[in-house]
Structure 1
Amino acid sequence: MEISERLSIYATLEENQQEEEIECQIIFDTEHDHYQLLDIGWDGLKRVYHCFIHLDIKNGQIWIQRNMTEADLAQDLVEMGIPKEDIILGLHPIYKRPYTGYGVA
Structure 2
Amino acid sequence: MEGMNYPELVQTVLARHTESHLAKGTEIQLIFDNQKNHYLVIHLGWEGEKRTYGSVIHIDIINGKIWIQCDFTEEGVANELVELGVPKTDIVLGFRSPHVRQFTGFASV
Q: Give the TM-score normalised by structure 2.
A: 0.89
State the 1:40 CA deviation: 0.7
Give the SS at the match of 1:95. Answer: helix
Deviation at 1:5, TM superposition (A): 1.3
Greater RCO, 1 or 2 (C-alpha within 8 Å, sep 6+) = 2
- In structure 2, the residue matched to 1:41 is 45
Verify: 1:104 aligned to 2:108, yes or no.
Answer: yes
Flag as ranges the 4+ runs of structure 1 deviating above 3 A.
none
Instruction: Output one character per residue of 1:15-64: Cα deviation in whole Å (capped at 9) or x when no partner.
Output: xx112200110111111101111111111111111111111100000001
Give yes or no for contact 2:92–2:108 (8 Å, CA) kept in 1: yes
Aligned equivalent of 1:91, options 85, 95, 99? 95
**1:1-105 correspondence runs (5 A):** 2-12=9-19, 14=20, 17-105=21-109
**Sequence identity of aligned pairs in percent?**
39
Counterpart CA distance in 2 for 1:72 and 1:21 is: 26
RMSD, aligned α-carbons: 1.1
What is the deviation of 1:82?
0.9
| Aligned mates of 2:53, 2:76 — CA distance in 1 | 23
Could you tell me how far apart the structure 1 residues matched to 2:23 and 2:79 are?
29
Give the gaps of 5 or more residues in structure 2: 1-7
When normalised by structure 1's length, the TM-score is: 0.92
Q: What is the CA distance between 1:71 and its match in structure 2? A: 1.4
Q: Distance in 2 between matches of 1:2 and 1:97?
A: 23
Distance 2:55 2:28 in 1: 10
Aligned residues: 102
